[in-house]
Structure 1
Amino acid sequence: MKRKILIIDDHLKLYKSLARNFKHLGYQTVHAQNGNEALALCAQDEIHAALLDIMLGHESGVDVLEQLLTRHPKLPVVMITGYGSIDTAVQSIKRGAFDYVTKPLDFDKLVNILENALNAANLPEETRRVAPRGKDLFPEIVTHNPAMLELCQKTRKLAATDLPVLITGENGTGKEIIADLIHLHSPRRAHPLLKINCAAFPETLLDNELFGHEKGSYTGADSAFKGVFERADQGSLFLDEIGDMPLTIQAKILRALQNHEIRRIGGERTITVDVRFIAATNKDLHEQIEHSAFRRDLFYRLNTAMLHLPPLRKRKEDIPLLVAHFLREHAHAHAAPGKTVSAAVLERFIDYDWPGNVRELKNTVNYAAALCSEEMIQVDDLPPNFISFETGEDAENVRDEIEKNLILKALQKTNYNKKKTAEYLNMSRTTLYAKLQKYGLTLPK
């Protein structure tokens, strides 16, 4: 059955344009020009979601919203405003609107919000939540947690500057996503964003990767090599896990930030670089400084623009939204029908502390979606060791076990065809072979 959208707007031209676009996506639309017409249509037909203009001639869309939700409390309503008034939008959301969009309308964004609304409407009522307001700032952020919303606002403002930014937070909270957003919404977005994980390189290799080397500077240096500082010129550079960086390289980083100059290994000339610097760490840098593991002067150079990502256990109101988001992603990636989760599953998710944060939640949802053969995911579809998470097992070992079981189930589903298994898991065959070896999985002859 096609889902039916009620568009409440007193501008016929806008309705016709929206109706035509929605028709191409397989939606049906009906039109009301005022509150009375909207209420009549909802009474006589099954409406799955509504788009409501805040300004309806002499009528207030906020008042119409209240009337609609009084009679149809489960109807998801997305507000449309030509004024971009945050106060009015917040007032609408407090009164039960799912989300809002501003004119001129970005249709792709509108469709994303509408699909979020329709998906949320299918959640069990006791776990249904209001709209992910963070999406109004960044489509990649799914949240209505106050701390996260404040972080989105601050990220948007910092993105417009050229200040170096330090992003802190536990593993799995989304630090790299924030770094991507800073670059994508900065004046440097037309230039590259290069990334380095400082914990992935020993000191000598990290030094070389960051600053490059001159020909002949060491055995095997047959040609000159540009480090990421040079390659990221005019763009941005993201250094992840900067708390794991050796002190000697921290000194070079500080000099590069202060003077916009670097020197290649084995080089005598200084090279001017123009780079937006973004760093991230899961460590407590104050503690690192006390243990002489992080330079105090580098910390002070970075801490003027800090962004701290809260762990998932402190934003549990976002869990139903994130679950719905990951289920949509999984359905799209595998061209499969969308799934929902039962109230028991959501209750378990909300009770759990998620030491691996959003990344762990995503892995768990993907695992359950891959194994579940019904439309609704039940507790039995969760990873077999999900309960053991709650008894304090090491999170890394548990994540490995989840991945191992997911690969095993995928192999079984594809009759142990490695090519099809890699496609099903959205990974390369090389990666699959490496993981088969890692987990000791052998295929039946």
Structure 2
Amino acid sequence: MKSETKILIVDDEKNFRELLRAILKKRGYKADCAQNGLEAVRAMKSEEYDIVITDLMMDGMNGMDLIKYIKENKIKSRCIIITAYGSIENAVEAIKEGAFSYFIKSNNPQELIFEIEKIVEINKLSKENEMLRSQIYGFDAMLSTKSEKYSNVLKLAEKVASTDVNVLILGESGSGKEILTKYIHMKSSRRENVLVSVNCHALPETLIESELYGHEKGSFTGSEGMRKGRFESADGGTLFLDEIGDIPLVSQAKILRSIENKEIERIGSNEPIKVDFRLICATNRNISRDIAEKKFREDLYYRISTVTIEIPPLRERKEDLPLLIEFFMEQSSRELKKDIRHIDDNLMKVLLSYDYPGNIRELKNIIERLTVMAEDDSISLEDATQYNIFLDSNEYEKNSNLSLKEARTIAERKYIKEVLDKNDFNMEISAKTLQISSRQLYNKVKEYEINIKH
């Protein structure tokens, strides 16, 4: 946490500020210096600081003025005032204006370190609380519904959560299978234990068994130590095998035995290990067709699907779009540090009428892109069309004025984005699917401005 804490020292005495910077750097903090208030303001415009340590008495913009500037501009930096012994009354006044505390120059520097450590701990707790609030709010927003179809899904999920039966969740890519898994886990008796998620599609075929079962030291080239697999890590909790339909047929028999016996062996060991986990699987594949084509074992299917829950695509629960749009807009504004307050009526009509073939994941991506492009506190349909936000939607693909090159570009960008989404933005696996090099894919991502944050 210390290395992440950025401190700005503002003092017109060069020797003092350089000495203080050396002390703080030795303690593991990142510290910059400014010789007056105006220089500090310039620094804060280009860098975010967790703590500002400022002298009270300086020519021009003094410490009090700097504190007022920080307060008026809603800058999140906490301030510590540096003062001489005779100016304690002024320091108290500065605290009333919003300073965190003060430090008398003639005192032991350790006192200042204590004040800094208090701020570091407060900031740490604030971030943890903010993250927790965000997760809870996000979870609630994603599960709030006015759709009868999705409401029935949640009711069924709550019923099965009270049991330990295996659950198979079906639904299109991006429809919220992982969110429903978290809901079942949080409603179950295992909620105090771990939820281990495995994206089976993103695992190379050669690594699947190592990831699931773990390995002993020296069991194969490069295995320098013992490693627990996902089955073992989920002991006492819930194991979520996402995209289980993509597991190679050769591995399915071994996985079936592990699920039936609740027992595994690490690679390189013959010693059985008992594991106790609740199993939830998900896939967007047509499992019945895969079984008929001998791509998925029928006995494994029956073992994992004691209860099957099918999530409706977003186009079948459009009643939930207003809440989801509002949630993703607030989330994007917070993460991108923008203050988006309004979506104009024309753009909202498009957002509410679009079918979202990529479901919730696509909606989230569209809102993020709109937020990035916004230049003030509102977003209009003109913004969306200017930056081709909806150019890959059905409505805009009807534009017959596109050149062949432009149409190819749209199709290529859309397909690359779909492959990245499918592979959880794993560049190597996506490049392999696209049959291009990772470097070529990286260049395409940059060229098409595809958001690879996940």
TM range (shorter): 0.5 to 0.7
Uncovered stretches (5+) of structure 2, i.e. residues with no partner: 1-129, 399-406, 419-438, 449-454
One of 353, 365, 388 as aligned partner of 1:384:
388
Residues 244-283 of structure 1 correspond to what in structure 2 (within 5 A)? 244-283=246-285
Distance 2:161 2:323 in 1: 26
Q: How does 1:46-445 map to 2 (within 5 A)?
A: 138-382=140-384, 383-384=387-388, 386-390=390-394, 391=397, 397-398=413-414, 437-440=443-446
Q: CA RMSD in A?
A: 3.2
Cα 1:377–1:212 change in 2 (3 A) is same
Whole-angstrom distance in 2 between the partners of 1:220 and 1:321: 49
Deviations 1:81-126 (Å, cap 9, x if unpaired)? xxxxxxxxxxxxxxxxxxxxxxxxxxx9xx99xxx9xxxxxxxxxx
Contact 1:214 1:266 in 2 (8 A): yes
The whole-number CA distance in structure 2 between the counterparts of 1:226 and 1:388 is 43
Q: Report the equivalent of 2:80.
A: none
Shift of 1:384: 0.7
Residues 323, 236 of structure 1: CA spacing in aligned structure 2 closer, same or farther, 3 A cutoff? same
C-alpha distance in structure 2 between counterparts of 1:396 and 1:437, whole Å: 13
- Cα deviation for residue 261 of structure 1 reads 0.8
C-alpha change, 1:437 and 1:178, in structure 2 (3 Å) is: same
Aligned to 1:420: none
Count of aligned pairs between the two proteins: 282
Residue 175 of structure 1 aligns with an amino acid whose one-letter code is K
Query: How much has 1:400 moved relative to structure 2?
Result: 5.8
Structure showing greater Rg: 2
3-state SS of the aligned residue for 1:283?
A: coil
Q: Is the 8 A contact 1:163 1:276 kept in 2?
A: yes
CA drift of 1:250 comes to: 1.5
Contact 1:385 1:398 in 2 (8 A): no
Gaps of 5+ in 1: 1-107, 117-134, 403-432
- Residues of 1 paired with 2:185 and 2:412: CA distance? 30
Percent identical pairs in the alignment equals 40
Using a 3 Å threshold, how does the CA distance of structure 1 residues 194 and 188 change in structure 2: closer, same or farther?
A: same
CA contact (8 A) 1:195 1:238 kept: yes
Give 4+ residue runs of structure 1 displaced > 4 Å after superposition: 392-396, 399-402, 433-438
- Cα 1:257–1:380 change in 2 (3 A) is same
Structure 1 residue 268, shift from structure 2 partner: 1.5
Contact 1:194 1:232 in 2 (8 A): yes
Q: Deviations over 1:229-262 (max 9, x none)?
A: 1111111111111000012222122112211111
1:255 & 1:322 partners in 2: Cα distance? 41
Per the normalisation by structure 2, the TM-score is 0.56
**Contact 1:192 / 1:232 at 8 angstroms: preserved in 2?**
yes
Assess if the C-alpha contact under 8 Å between 2:212 and 2:229 holds in 1.
yes
1:148-169 per-position Cα deviation (integer Å, ceiling 9, x unaligned): 1111111122222211211111
Q: Do 2:141 and 2:323's aligned partners in 1 also have CA atoms closer than 8 Å?
A: no
Partner SS state of residue 268, structure 1:
coil
Query: CA offsets, 1:212-244, max 9 Å, x none?
Result: 123333233343322111111111111111000
Which amino acid in 2 is paired with 1:386? F
